[in-house]
Structure 1
Amino acid sequence: MSTVARPRVWESVVPTTSRRGHFWVPGERVTGADGAVRAKGPMFVAWEAPAADTDRPPVVLVHGGGGQGTDWLGTPDGRPGWAAGFVAAGYPTFVVDRPGHGRSPAHPDVTGTPGAQFDYGTGEALFFPGRPDHTRWPLDPEDEAATDRWIAPLGSLPVDLAASQRMDADRLAALLDELGPAVVVTHSAGGPCGWLLADRRPELIRALVAIEPIGPAFATFPGIGTLDWGLTAAPLTYDPPRASADEARAADPTTLRVPALADLPVALLTGGASVFADFADDVVRWLVTAGAAVERVHLPDHGVTGNGHALTYETNSDDTLAVVLRWIEETT
């Protein structure tokens, strides 16, 4: 009996020439009840840059909730991901695994109690086509094997959302201290990392692209947590100052100014068939009040249609990235 050999995974990949590597952003040393000293929440960083130097700033890609850095490296149907697209456009590109996700180690004694493992039902509700205008999902929802491969990298979310966001922002701030001014791109539940990073290092963010960030302000996301401080669960620096999350929530929304966000170029990117687009204008209004130079970038307004929440790796991901590259080029 003869069989047809499947192509090996590397045989369909176009050869490229680039520089690449990886390193770690260390965490703090913490002493446990047993007296042992351990590292708290180090962050893994993979990077790739064009073979020749360019004048483009570094780009830092921050994944969403339950995901990991591999979200940016390839698509579920085997095409190159946004990371490769940024490198091809001349940007040194840095892909992080947020502490406790992917290759960044997690243990409840140092990174906090993990929540439930990401489940199929949640993934299908967030990403699978749920309306007729969502036409760009790359997999057949009835293909169980493909769905298994797609959900494999999705892990647990932290129970303490605020502590997790503080750790994310601290590690990203240390990364920018090494890289210098950079463009930061976040997705979904990674969105608060961008606002908190700007609060810590406003002078080191050239521009911020928030892809379908969680919101609106002070919202509760089932299975994730509550944005107690506005668009973040961790504290933000307001002017006038707010001493607590309760004080921030009780304040007149028009007074919630964040000095670190003043005049920061922000693109808030949404897909035309995503439920996250339904509250994006509320997020924009909060950012305008905070002081950011924010632009709502709705893909259908740029001729790119059919996208849901996973617009970074749907079938027209090259087109969605092209919109972002144009915005970055015009902004920086």
Structure 2
Amino acid sequence: MQTRETLLEIKDLKVHFPIEKGLLFKKDVGSVRAVDGISFSVYKGESLGLVGESGCGKSTTIMALARLERITSGQVWFEGKDLATLNAEQLIQARKDFQIIFQDPYSSLDPRMRVIDIVAEPMRIFTKKAILTLTEKEIEEKALGLLDKCGLPASYAKRYPHEFSGGQRQRIGIARALSLGPKLILADEPVSALDVSIQSQILNLLKDLQKEFDLTFIFIAHDLSVVEYFCNRVAVMYLGNIVEMAPSHELYVNPMHPYTKALLSAVPIPDPVAARTRKRLILKGDVPSPSIVRPGCPFYERCHKAMPICEKQKPALLGAEAGHQVACFLYENIQGGEHA
């Protein structure tokens, strides 16, 4: 069996935002636990999907990985370096190897810059810092080449973002993310703002680019069908915790955690007969506040199968079978299994 190469390893990552009280003399009275101690690995060449309801901590996770949010505690190992401990200069050098595709293709592009300058800007910055050694001609040629690979001809290079559609703007954002030759792409809902027909084009483009440039993705999406199509593995998040992780084909066929089952039961299916007859799992109540300290399972208050132990003790994310991990006391027979 071939061993997969680990590109990124996260250990007990926490991102807590302080809650302050007071007008003149502010003091911390609590914290919002946006990400509350998650651990997982990302393997070279794969696409790992992060799914869950709004506010579960998906975007905060990738912003923390990129050090765009302050890490409260934990380790983020990327090719032998703990990103959580790097100083500003070391972080700039490391960022060459991981880039972000943002959700909004409108606000993520500078409206005052031409398309070629948007794509070329990262290369110019890193050349000035002596991290890259490129001439201006080489930078422009590479920018034009990336635009072409992303489906935008050279004749578009001197136009401005307002002259493009949403799908075209996202292609510009993808070209910019590739300009430094990264190994890891952090994609924060890159197709959620696009029409369905355009979504499929962008997803196919990302798949093609992944093969050509040997890219690894952490991919956030609300649409579970998008994640199923694009990702090799899926991690399900709830209130800053990972409650289940599995290969995508396994997760969609055999979900184990009650929260995962509820999410998948809400996914639209094209067969109207099957849609009418399938059983929906309706979650009770709203997502509770992430500022509340919970000693037990984060899903306890909404789970229809909750047990007394769930309120008092937090289940660990343990292996159920090959590649499938779940944090739930319903599967006590696996609680002696291997830790995630």
TM range (shorter): under 0.3
**TM-score for both structures, normalised by structure 2:** 0.27
The answer to which structure, 1 or 2, has the higher relative contact order (CA under 8 A, 6+ apart) is 2
Larger Rg: 2
**TM-score for both structures, normalised by structure 1:** 0.27
